[in-house]
Amino acid sequence: MTHNTVTEIMAGLDAILERERSALLAGDLDKMPQLLEEKTALIEALEALDPDDKPDMEPLRDKAERNQALLDGALQGIRQVAGRLAAFRRLRHSFVTYDETGHKRTIEGDVVHRVEKRA
């Protein structure tokens, strides 16, 4: 493979990793599937290279690890939000507390759905 092709693949991967970082920092997780497809295609092209043509991957590895840390943080945040939402849903139906003697007490909640119409 030519040197230009190797350079193009490396530049493409670098650009995708930068776009991925920007999307993660902006919380734009909808872009991740498309970026993954592009990144996978370029990585496959890189793997198809002759071993003598393979470039130094350290700069891209560092960027990929940085993005992985950002993605891990985003996933942790999503899990925390899901946990909080589940707790709020449980509170809508009942609330567990303790009385003055230390016994567990459940207070049932009434969920009333109302629609208010205004003219």
pLDDT in tens, 20-36: 999 999 999 999 999 99
Angle at 45 between CA 61 and CA 51, to 5 degrees: 75
Q: What gap in Å lies between CA 1 and CA 7, rounded to an integer? A: 11
Q: Structural domain boundaries of the chain?
A: 3-86
Residues 22, 71 contacting (CB under 8 angstroms)? no
pLDDT of residue 6: 86
Q: Has this prediction a pTM greater than 0.75?
A: no
Q: What does R_g of the chain's alpha carbons equal in angstroms?
A: 25
Q: Which two tokens stand for residue 7?
A: 């350079």
pLDDT of residue 11: 93
Closest C-alpha among 65, 70, 66 to residue 26: 70
Q: Which two tokens stand for residue 115?
A: 């629609």
pLDDT of residue 21: 96
Rama region for 116: left / alpha / beta (φ>0; ψ in -120 to 50; rest)? beta
pLDDT of residue 76: 95
